């Protein structure tokens, strides 16, 4: 649906909400998973969401953990350098990598061998602007915006999460202006990943045929699904903790939470 969502009965039990955030409503998607005893079901998939639609969605699931695919902050060195320079002082001596990447980006690089996009030098900054405003709305007037994942919202990087689970993630994102051949390749690749997750989660995740088809057709919805799954991992303490030496940085910069490496162990019925 465009910019909205249908009315839902107030949910019982826990839920996780995954948001694949774009800089505009177009390309912004959400997935809600409602969890019972050791199992869950996809309760909602939505696309083209405005900020108000996202806030309404989250507020309709008040106990939900929310995974958002967007940077929660900027590198401390980047913010400090711009502040000093803007005040009229000279440009501080600082390495380019410190300006480009956050502590969590370097951690992901160490763990998985891939750099996340730089929030200070890449187009993803536009998404981070929107995310900062959204986090402020979700926190409420005058409230502290938690960026570590200890609060309601947690930062997610779907490709890194898939890597942790041993699922190949290259080729499923569709670029603008893609050829029909590229679209076909993407459809086949994403369809294979969705089937892999569906088969692995048959015992603990209810996914209808309609849901599966929508996920196969939209990498935005798929990333929202992964974000909801990672939010679940964080909620049940089956994600990698923030190393103590990085906690101070995470409070300012945000932190990408990674699920534990054993594939979907934290979702199996108990």
Q: Residues in the chain with pLDDT < 70?
A: 1-13, 38, 174, 176-178, 182, 265-270
CA distance 238 to 140: 28
Predicted model pTM: 0.89
| pLDDT confidence of residue 13 | 54
Q: Which of the following CATH numbers is that of domain 14-73+124-244: 3.30.420.10, 3.60.110.10, 3.40.50.10420, 3.20.20.140?
A: 3.30.420.10
| pLDDT confidence of residue 268 | 59
Quick: pLDDT tens for 86-111: 998 888 888 889 999 999 999 999 99
| pLDDT confidence of residue 270 | 45
| pLDDT confidence of residue 184 | 76
**Cβ-contact 197, 167 below 8 angstroms:** yes
| pLDDT confidence of residue 1 | 36
**Cβ-contact 198, 207 below 8 angstroms:** yes
Quick: pLDDT tens for 181-196: 767 777 788 888 998 8
CA distance 240 to 17: 19
């Amino acid at each position: 649906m465009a910019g909205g969502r249908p009315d839902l009965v107030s949910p019982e039990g826990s839920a996780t909400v995954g948001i694949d955030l774009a800089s505009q409503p177009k390309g912004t998607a959400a997935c809600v998973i409602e969890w019972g005893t050791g199992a869950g079901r996809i309760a909602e998939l939505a696309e083209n969401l405005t900020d108000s639609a996202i806030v309404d969605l989250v507020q309709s699931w008040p106990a939900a953990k929310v995974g958002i695919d967007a940077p929660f902050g900027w590198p401390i060195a980047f913010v400090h350098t711009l502040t000093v320079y803007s005040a009229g002082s000279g440009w501080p001596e600082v390495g380019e990598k410190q300006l480009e990447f956050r502590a969590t980006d370097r951690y992901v690089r160490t763990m998985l061998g891939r750099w996340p996009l730089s929030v200070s030098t890449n187009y993803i900054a536009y998404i981070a602007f929107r995310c900062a405003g959204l986090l402020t709305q979700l926190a409420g007037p005058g409230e502290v915006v938690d960026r570590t994942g200890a609060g309601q919202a947690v930062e997610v990087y779907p490709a890194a999460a898939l890597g942790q689970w041993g699922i190949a993630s290259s080729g499923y994102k569709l670029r603008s202006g893609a050829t029909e051949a590229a679209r076909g390749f993407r459809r086949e690749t994403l369809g294979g990943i969705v089937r892999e997750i569906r088969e692995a989660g048959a015992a603990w995740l209810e996914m209808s045929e309609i849901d599966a088809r929508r996920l196969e057709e939209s990498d935005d919805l798929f990333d929202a699904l992964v974000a909801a799954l990672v939010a679940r991992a964080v909620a049940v303490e089956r994600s990698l903790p923030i190393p103590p030496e990085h906690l101070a940085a995470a409070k300012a910069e945000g932190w990408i939470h990674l699920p534990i490496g054993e594939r979907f162990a934290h979702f199996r019925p108990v």
